[in-house]
């Protein structure tokens, strides 16, 4: 029996107003879908780029180099201009018994009856509690997202001496934000054996900012009563401990998908990344429910997430037109040092994934990895990939390496030779 609450009817409900969700919504409207509604829990749409006030956005999807806020504004403007109903301060808090999203907003609580649903809820960095960092509980410990919100949206000070934990691309974004707030980075620490960003970028960063990078090191303890006073750094190879004076600690990277709604809906989740398990058309295990963006691959760049949105729009239109064919699928699985792969299902006959690439996450450095794809003991492809595998970065594998898989055989396995 349905709840006696108001009902909003639309052709497509998009949950999440970041790059993937906004791009999907605009593409659907531009293709002639009558009513597309985006539900964004924040008071402004645009996602993480909204408070990432540095350049490097929009390269792949908009063929331009933009700052994060300018990129977010462009995505929102395009959605509005296309006739998308973008509802901010509107949070999908659960699902009705029949699988309809239930929204809580300023206007009250209502359900959404949609012909198709696109989940684009993105990803987030693990906070301190999830990383199980011991010690005192003072103020001054933030994730990158919290830091950028404080600095770029609330225009608040955060401290004077910071330790940045992690060395991914987002870690350097945190360094730039700290500098804008007048806070010096005194140390970057990573448990990896080398900096996780491309070598050229890391060299430029270290040269420009002048702080040391502690590799194979972790934060063993945070020290401070009311405000952070120092951290205790444990050196993994020697067991030595070092005290570093600081008043701010920024926890970067270590991404997880915002998958609460996916779990509540009972969707099959992918091994490793724990986002929804999808096929190349970005269909989830629930008919009419699709997923896109960094909910599926935590975390890739904003423009890649946006291109996911463009890709899923085509598949949603097919669903709305009555194409509900779900041929048998085989799983794509990985062996170490690959932690996960997305998409994780292959249905022969489906289109290639967005940009013709499978996205994988590695746990080791390999300069020119030789990748093998197998199914039931038969090698489907073996190729040396001319770009590196590295922790903290998405590894892109050409779709053609798995395209020959058979629907009537077992799992497709991706491994290193």
- Residue that is last in its domain, among 253, 270, 305: 253
Cα dihedral 65, 69, 70, 73, rounded to 10, equals 130
Is 38 a domain residue? yes
pTM score, two decimals? 0.95
Read off the pLDDT of each residue in 107-113 and give the average, rounded to a whole number. Answer: 96
**Is the confidence at residue 38, as pLDDT, over 90?**
yes
Same domain, 49 and 89: yes
Range of the domain at 369: 354-416
What is the per-residue pLDDT across 235-248, written as a single tens digit (0 to 9) for each? 999 999 999 999 99
- Residue that is last in its domain, among 307, 326, 345: 326
The confidence band for 200, taking pLDDT boundaries of 50, 70 and 90, is: low
Is 151 a domain residue? yes
CATH number of the domain that residue 384 is part of? 2.60.40
CATH number of the domain that residue 224 is part of? 3.50.50.60
**Is the confidence at residue 208, as pLDDT, over 90?**
no
**Is the confidence at residue 3, as pLDDT, over 80?**
no
The C-alpha atoms of residue 170 and residue 48 are separated, in whole angstroms, by: 11
Is 337 a domain residue? no
Is 99 a domain residue? yes
Per the prediction, the chain carries an average pLDDT of 95
- Helix, coil or strand: residue 79: helix
The C-alpha atoms of residue 186 and residue 190 are separated, in whole angstroms, by: 14
Same domain, 149 and 173: yes
The distance from CA 147 to its chain's CA centroid, rounded to whole angstroms, is 18
The confidence band for 199, taking pLDDT boundaries of 50, 70 and 90, is: low
Domain count, the chain: 3
Could you tell me if 55 and 342 are in contact, meaning their C-beta atoms sit under 8 angstroms apart? no
Could you please report the per-residue DSSP string of 119-146?
E---EEE--HHHHT--B---B-EEEHHH
Read off the pLDDT of each residue in 210-220 and give the average, rounded to a whole number. Answer: 94
The C-alpha atoms of residue 312 and residue 306 are separated, in whole angstroms, by: 10
Whole-number Cα distances in Å, 174 to 164, 169, 232, 373, 406: 8, 9, 21, 37, 45
Is 339 a domain residue? no
Q: Angle, to 10 degrees, between the axis of helix 19-30 and the axis of helix 68-81?
A: 30
């Amino acid at each position: 029996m349905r709840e006696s609450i108001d009902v909003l009817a639309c052709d497509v409900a998009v949950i999440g107003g970041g790059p993937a969700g906004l791009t999907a919504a605009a593409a659907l409207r531009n293709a002639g879908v009558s009513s597309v509604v985006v539900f964004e829990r924040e008071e402004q749409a645009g996602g993480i780029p909204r408070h990432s006030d540095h350049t490097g956005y929009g390269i792949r999807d908009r063929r331009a180099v933009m700052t994060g806020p300018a990129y977010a504004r462009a995505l929102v403007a395009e959605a509005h201009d296309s006739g998308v109903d973008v509802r901010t301060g509107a949070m999908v808090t659960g699902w009705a018994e029949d699988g309809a999203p239930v929204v809580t907003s300023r206007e009250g609580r209502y359900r959404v009856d949609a012909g198709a649903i696109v989940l684009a809820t993105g990803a987030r960095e693990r906070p301190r509690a999830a990383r199980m960092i011991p010690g005192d509980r003072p103020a001054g410990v933030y994730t990158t997202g919290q830091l950028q919100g404080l600095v770029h949206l609330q225009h608040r000070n955060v401290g004077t001496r910071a330790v940045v934990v992690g060395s991914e691309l987002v870690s350097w974004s945190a360094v730039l934000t700290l500098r804008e707030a007048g806070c010096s980075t005194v140390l970057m620490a990573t448990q990896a054996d080398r900096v996780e960003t491309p070598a050229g970028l890391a060299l430029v960063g270290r040269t420009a900012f002048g702080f040391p990078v502690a590799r194979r090191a972790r934060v063993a303890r945070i020290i401070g009563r009311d405000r952070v006073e120092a951290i205790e750094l444990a050196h993994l190879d020697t067991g030595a401990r070092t005290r570093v004076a600081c008043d701010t600690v920024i926890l970067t990277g270590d991404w997880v998908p915002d998958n609460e709604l996916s779990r509540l809906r009972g969707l099959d989740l992918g091994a490793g990344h724990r986002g929804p398990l999808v096929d190349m058309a970005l269909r989830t295990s629930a008919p009419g429910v699709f997923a896109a963006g960094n909910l599926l691959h935590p975390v890739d760049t904003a423009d890649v997430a946006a291109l996911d949105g463009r890709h899923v729009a085509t598949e949603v239109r097919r669903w709305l037109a009555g194409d509900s064919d779900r041929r048998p699928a085989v799983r794509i699985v990985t062996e170490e040092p690959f932690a996960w792969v997305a998409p994780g299902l292959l249905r022969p006959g489906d289109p290639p994934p967005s940009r013709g690439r499978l996205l994988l996450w590695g746990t080791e450095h390999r300069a020119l990895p030789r990748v093998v794809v197998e199914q039931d003991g038969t090698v489907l492809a073996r190729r040396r990939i001319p770009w590196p595998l590295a922790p903290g970065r998405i590894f892109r594998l050409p779709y053609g390496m798995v395209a020959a898989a058979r629907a009537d055989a077992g799992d497709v396995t991706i491994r290193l030779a």
